[in-house]
Structures are given as C-alpha cells and as structure tokens.
Chain A
Amino acid sequence: MSTSTLKYSAETSNALLKEVMDRSGQNLMSCYQCRRCAAGCPVGDESGVTPDRLVRMVLLGEKDNALNNLLIWKCLACYTCGTRCPNNIQTARINETLKQMAKEAHIEPNIPRVASFHSSFVKSISHFGRSNELEFMALYEIENYKKGGLTAVKEDIKSTSKLGRSMLKKKRMHFKLDRTKGKSEIKSLFKKAADKRGAKGQP
C-alpha cells in the first residue's frame, strides 16, 4: 500500500475528509506530518502504516486505503499518538471512525478476530448489562467460527483453554452470571444507538 502526494485534488478528497472529521471530531487538516505519532505508535512497525500515513490517506481522499489497512485493526487505543500530537489530533479516534466506516461499507476487516472481539464484547453487554468472561468468550468464538470456520477457532480454543485452566487453578475464573437489574434502561440505550446508526448498519 502506498500513498502518493501527487494525486491530491481538493474536489475528490473533500467528501472523505469531511466525513472523517465530522465523525471523529478531529481536525485532520492541522497535521503537518511531524511524525511524533509514528515514533510513539506501538503497532506502527507491524502495521506497515503509521498514524501520520493514515491521516495523509484521508487528506488525499484515498478511501480504499484508509478503510482497508492493518493499522486501523491493530490499533490498541493506547492514545500515545494523540497525547503527543502538537496539533491535538487524536488518531486513535480517527481509527475508531474508520473501523465503523469500513464496517458500514461491508469491507472485510484486515484482522477479522479483532472485529469479532469488540462486537462480541458489546453484544455481551447488551445481554446482561455486564461483561461475563465465559459468555463473552463463547460469543467471540462463535463469531470467529462464522467468519473462518473450524480452523479459525481451533488454535484459539487450545490457547484459551490453557488460560482457562490456569484461571481455574488460581481461582480467577468466575462462574456466577453477573447482571444489571436495570435491563430496560440498557435495552433502550442500545435501541437508541441502533436508531442513530440507522441506515449506517449494525455495530
């Protein structure tokens, strides 16, 4: 994946830039490519894209590249990039927006398991109001199975059950279902979120 500085056209780049700025609340236009974010990014090396490159893709209107790269899925939301940015751009927020836009555009996530992890976690909150580790892990593996079949979950089940065994041994596994009584409130917040997404699609 490469970005070209030669292809800039205000007319074609503006739609993407405006949507990302509105949704993330970040002023991408103040980026002067100092790369302090890149220096601090813990996953930049492995992603092949650093936060400054991502900002540049959006500025150039390279929608395909911006919605389809490893950084938006490897990002750990550690907020180092944004904390160090001299122009107060929080790239992690831009990543969150781009992830949501990629989902809405039905683009297959570059790391499907990351997408499954976060959507399963949120789904588990919608069920009981609290996250229960066993239920959440089950939802996550079901999601992985749906996306990648048995091979996608085989390795996981091996490593997860190893962790599960030591958690049992150390009395850190929790079997009681923790739940929130105010379920109707949680439900209505989730409904409101769905209404707001409207045509934009499911989380």
Chain B
Amino acid sequence: MKIAYYPGCSLHASSKLYDIQAKSVLGKIGIELSEIEDWNCCGATSASKTDDFLAIALAARNLGIADATGLSEMMIPCSSCYSRTLVSQKALAGDPALRSEINAELAKKVEGKIKISNILEVLLARKKELTDNAVKKLTGLKPACYYGCLLTRFPSDMPITDSVENPVAMEGLLKSMGAEPLDWGYKTDCCGASASVNDADMALKLMSKILKDALARGANCFVTTCPMCQLNLDAYQDEVREKYGIAKSLPVYFITELLGVSMGMGVEQMQIDRHFTDALGLLRELKLI
C-alpha cells in the first residue's frame, strides 16, 4: 500500500535518520512512503509569526501537489509541518475566496481531498502488523513519551484522534512491544525548540523541567515523534544538565527506532549512532542490540 509522504526540511537534513527509520519500519509491514514531488518548506512557526498569508499559502502548494497524486492519505512525521499543513487545509476549506486566490498561483491546485495524518496515526492503525513483525520484546525500557506542542494543540479548532492534555498513542504502541511507558507530568509541555537558538536561557529552563520530571518518575529514556523536539532535547541535554546540576542523562529516541529495534533492525539500519546524547548504551544494557 502506498501513502503519500511529506518529509519536510528537517527529515532531509539534520533528522535524515528519522526519514530512513520511518521508511524501514513502514516498509517492513508493506507500506510504501511515496515522497511528494518538488515539495517546499511549510513555513513552520516562523511564517505564521511574520505573515498570515504565507503561513497558509506555503503549505497550500504542498497540498495541491499531494492532491494531484490521487493517493488518499499523506503522512507528515514532523509535528510542525503536520500542524501547518493541517491548519492550511482547514483554512482553505473554510475560505473559498482565499483558496481560489492561492490556487491561481499554483500549477497543482488544492482540492482538499487528501487526508493528512501524523506518524502516530499511521502506526497505530497498523498496530497488529507491527506487533506481528516484532521479534524482540522491549523489556526493561521505561520511556517517558514526549509529545511536545504541535501534535495535539493547534492555533484553531481541530478534531484530533488522541487526548489533547493526556495523549496516549505512543504509550499504547510501546506497551504492545513490551516496553513499560510511565505516567509523567510534562508530556505535552513545550521544550523551547527555536528558542534554543534565539532565547537560549528560556529554552534550557523549559528543558530542565522536562528532564527532571522524567528522571524523577524513573524513566530511562525519552521517546518522541517530533524532529524539532528530538534535536532539541538531544543536542542541548549536556548544557541543560550542566546548568541545572542534573547528574543523569536520558537518550532521546524517535518512536521509529524503538519499533525498528523490536522488529529486529540493527544500529546501522536504524542509524542509532547519530544521537548527541548516548543512545546505544541503554539498548546494549537491555540486550536489545
């Protein structure tokens, strides 16, 4: 089965490993991710902070390309891209004048047909196939599942498939693979993301709260689906620990690499050696790799 796929800029660059993992894991259960051709950046949070028209129009061009594929569903792993694309699709459905105005500039017009899914929705719909393909139980893995902001909260009303304040999709998936996900208090709190570059003290403070809570609950790793959150919590963790005197570190996994490991895929295929905070030690200790 083919699903349209929008990787977004980060899965082509700093989070290329996530792109590779997603294709391997879904490929294993017979899903082919078909990257839409010649996509552009969705504008992310920056477009909506600077220009209301671009915030809708940039994602609209991708929606037109996606509609033209004739496929029924498009998966967007990055939470920011997912959010902007969904918001654009909804805004255009509710504003025919804006839609024609934007369509006039596009080679492939937005029809509004394609269903936009995040990676958890795509994975959860295939939980049985995933568990059927699992060869290792993720015993001993105690993840703090981290959803961040943009997977469940939107700038306008949006019907979502999980709970806004206490989403549980990741926990469900990981439990079925034998892991023991924990209840904790910061699963939808903001990690700061872009503030790590432009307002660093603020971002470090937010990350310290997240890290401290996860450790206090007894987590031995984070799991996330958002490449922005992953990079942030992974790359800046040393700085957070140093500034806030936190002794222990926690690896920050993408959901896909843990699913891959339980399906028997190795370090090289899952590219688990591309983390900033050691991510191999725990998996070795648990004899998962």
Footprint of B on A, CB under 8 Å?
Answer: 23, 25, 42-43, 46, 74, 76-80, 82-83, 88, 90, 92-93, 96, 99-100, 111, 113-114, 116-119, 121-122, 125, 129-133, 140, 159-160, 163, 166-167, 170-174, 178, 180-182, 185-186, 188-190, 192-193, 196-197, 203
Contact = CB atoms under 8 A, between A and B. Distances in A.
A118 B41 contact: no
Contact of A193 (B51, B189, B198): B51
Contacts of A189: 54, 57-58, 61, 102, 105
B49 A99 contact: yes
Interface stretch (B154-162, B174-182, B212-220, B253-261): B154-162
Given A43-B202, A133-B14, A189-B61, A170 B40 contact: no
Contacts of B48: 77, 96
A174 B38 CA distance: 18
A72 B152 CA distance: 22
Contacts of A171: 274
A79 B40 contact: no
Given A25-B156, A90-B155, 7 more contacts: A79-B153, A92-B155, A122-B50, A130-B40, A172-B231, A185-B105, A189-B61
B147 to A, nearest CB: 12
B198 A121 contact: no
A166 B276 contact: yes
A196 B102 CA distance: 12
Main secondary structure of the interface of A (DSSP, over half): helix
A53 B263 CA distance: 51
B240 to A, nearest CB: 13
Contacts of B13: 132-133, 172, 174, 178
Given A90-B156, A172-B15, A78 B149 contact: yes
Contact of B47 (A79, A80, A88, A122): A122
Nearest to A197: B51
B275 interface: yes
B175 to A, nearest CB: 26
Nearest to B44: A121
Given A43-B202, A171-B274, A122 B46 contact: yes
A16 to B, nearest CB: 18
Given A79-B155, A93-B155, A186-B40, A74 B202 contact: yes
Contacts of B125: none
A122 B57 contact: no
Contact of A122 (B43, B195, B206, B276): B43
A113 B197 CA distance: 9
B286 interface: no
Nearest to B60: A189
Given A90-B155, A116-B198, A130 B9 contact: yes
A197 B197 CA distance: 28
Top 4 nearest A-B pairs by Cβ distance?
A174-B13, A121-B46, A79-B153, A78-B190
Given A76-B192, A174-B12, A185-B107, A193 B202 contact: no
A130 B53 contact: no
Contacts of A99: 49-50
A203 B157 CA distance: 26
A178 B54 contact: no
Contacts of A83: 152-154, 164
Contacts of A185: 61, 105-107
B40 A119 contact: no
A76 B190 contact: yes
A50 to B, nearest CB: 15
B58 A125 contact: yes
Contacts of A181: 38
A163 B150 CA distance: 24
B71 interface: no
A170 B57 CA distance: 35
A170 B202 CA distance: 26
A114 B198 CA distance: 5
Contacts of A46: 202, 205
